[in-house]
Structure 1
Amino acid sequence: MDPLSDVLALLNVEGAISARLEVGGSWSIRFPVYRHVKFGAVLSGSCWIAVEGADMPVHLREGDCCLLANGLPYVVSGEEESEPVDVGAIVAPTAECVVRYGSEVPDTVVIGGDITFDELNAGLLLDSLPPLIVVRGSSDLAQALRSALELLAYETAAPRPASALMTGHLAHILFVQALRAYLGSLDAPSRAGWLSALTDPQIGASLVLMHEDLGRRWTVGELAAAVNMSRSSFAERFKTLVGVAPFDYLLQRRMQTAGQALRAGDRTVSAIASEWGYGSESAFSNAFKRVMGHAPSHFRKAALH
Structure 2
Amino acid sequence: MSNLLPSAAPHDLASELLLGMRLVGVQYRRIEVSAPFGLAFGEEPGRAQFHFVARGPVFLRSPDGTVHRLDTSAAVLLPRGGAHHLLSDPEPKHACKDVTTLSATDLCPTVRGCADIGVCHGDSTLVFSGCMEFDLGGMQSLVAAMPEAMLVGTLLERNPELCAMLDAMERESLSPRAGSAGILARLADVVSAFIVRGWVECGCGDATGWVEALRDPRLGKVLVALHREPGRHWTVAELAAQMDSSRSVFAERFLAVTGMTPLRYLTELRMRLAAQWLTRDREPIESVAYKLGYGSLAAFSRAFKRVVGRPPGALRGHAPGETRNAKESTA
TM-score for the superposition, normalised by structure 1:
0.76
The corresponding residue for 2:203 is 186
Equivalent residue letter for 2:80: N
Map of 2:149 onto structure 1: 132
Q: Does the 8 A contact of 1:47 with 1:59 survive in 2?
A: yes
C-alpha separation in 2, matches of 1:142 and 1:65: 14
Aligned amino acid, residue 169 of structure 1: R
Equivalent of 1:163 in 173, 180, 184: 180
Is the CA contact 2:33–2:118 (under 8 Å) kept in the aligned structure 1?
yes
The answer to whether residue 26 in structure 2 is matched with residue 16 in structure 1 is yes
Q: Which secondary structure state, in structure 1, belongs to the residue aligned with residue 310 of structure 2? A: coil
Which deviates more, 122-131 or 280-289? Answer: 122-131
Show CA shifts across 1:176-210 (max 9, x none): 2222222222266614446x743443333321121
1:21-170 to 2 correspondences below 5 Å: 21-23=31-33, 25-34=35-44, 35-52=46-63, 54=64, 56-82=66-92, 83=95, 85-88=100-103, 97-101=115-119, 104-106=122-124, 108-116=125-133, 124=141, 126-136=143-153, 139-170=156-187
- Residue 186 of structure 2: SS of its match in structure 1? helix
1:76-97 CA distance string (max 9 Å, x none): 123322316531499999x984
- Consecutive unaligned residues of structure 2, counting only runs of 5 or more, are 5-11, 319-331
8 Å CA contact 1:21, 1:109 repeated in 2? yes
C-alpha change, 1:211 and 1:184, in structure 2 (3 Å) is same
- Checking the alignment, whether the CA contact within 8 Å between 2:285 and 2:313 is kept in structure 1 is no
Deviation at 1:136, TM superposition (A): 0.5
| Alpha-carbon distance in structure 1 between the residues aligned to 2:216 and 2:74 | 26
Letter in 2 for 1:30: A
After superposing the two structures, state which structure 1 stretch, 260-269 or 164-173, moved more: 260-269
Tell me if structure 1 keeps the 8 A contact 2:28–2:128. Answer: yes
Question: How far has the Cα of 1:37 moved from its partner?
Answer: 0.6
Whether contact under 8 Å (1:7, 1:125) holds in the other structure is no
What displacement does 1:39 show?
0.6
Contact kept in structure 1, 2:50 and 2:129, CA below 8 Å = yes
> What do you get for the CA RMSD once the two structures are aligned?
4.0
Structure 1 residue 161: Cα displacement = 1.4
For residue 284 of structure 1, report the CA deviation from its aligned partner: 3.1
| Structure 1: runs of 5 or more not aligned | none
Give the secondary-structure state (helix, strand or coil) at the position aligned to 1:37: strand
- With over 3 angstroms needed to count, the CA separation of the structure-2 counterparts of 1:213 and 1:189, relative to structure 1, is farther
Q: Cα distance 1:122–1:114, how it changes in 2: closer, same or farther (>3 A)?
A: farther
1:303 to 316, 319, 326: 316
Q: How many residues align structurally?
A: 296
Contact in 1 for aligned 2:271/2:307 (Cα 8 Å): yes
Match of 1:208 in 2: 224
Tell me the distance in 2 between the aligned counterparts of 1:148 and 1:136.
Answer: 15
Q: Give the residue type in structure 2 aligned to 1:287.
A: A
Q: Provide the identity percentage.
A: 28
Deviation of 1:125 (Å): 5.5
| Matches of 2:268 and 2:262, distance apart in 1 | 10
Instruction: Give me the whole-angstrom Cα distance separating, in 2, the residues matched to 1:280 and 1:89.
Output: 45
1:220 and 1:246 in contact (8 A); partners too = yes
Three-state SS of the structure 1 residue aligned to 2:207 is coil
Report the Cα offset of residue 36 of structure 1: 1.1
Distance 1:237 1:225 in 2: 13
In structure 2, C-alpha distance between the alignment counterparts of 1:27 and 1:161, rounded to whole Å: 29
d(CA) in 2 for partners of 1:70, 1:143: 27
Could you tell me which amino acid in structure 2 is paired with residue 130 of structure 1? P
Distance 1:275-1:51 versus aligned 2 partners, 3 A rule: closer
Q: CA deviation at 1:33?
A: 2.4
Secondary structure at the counterpart of residue 198 of structure 1? helix
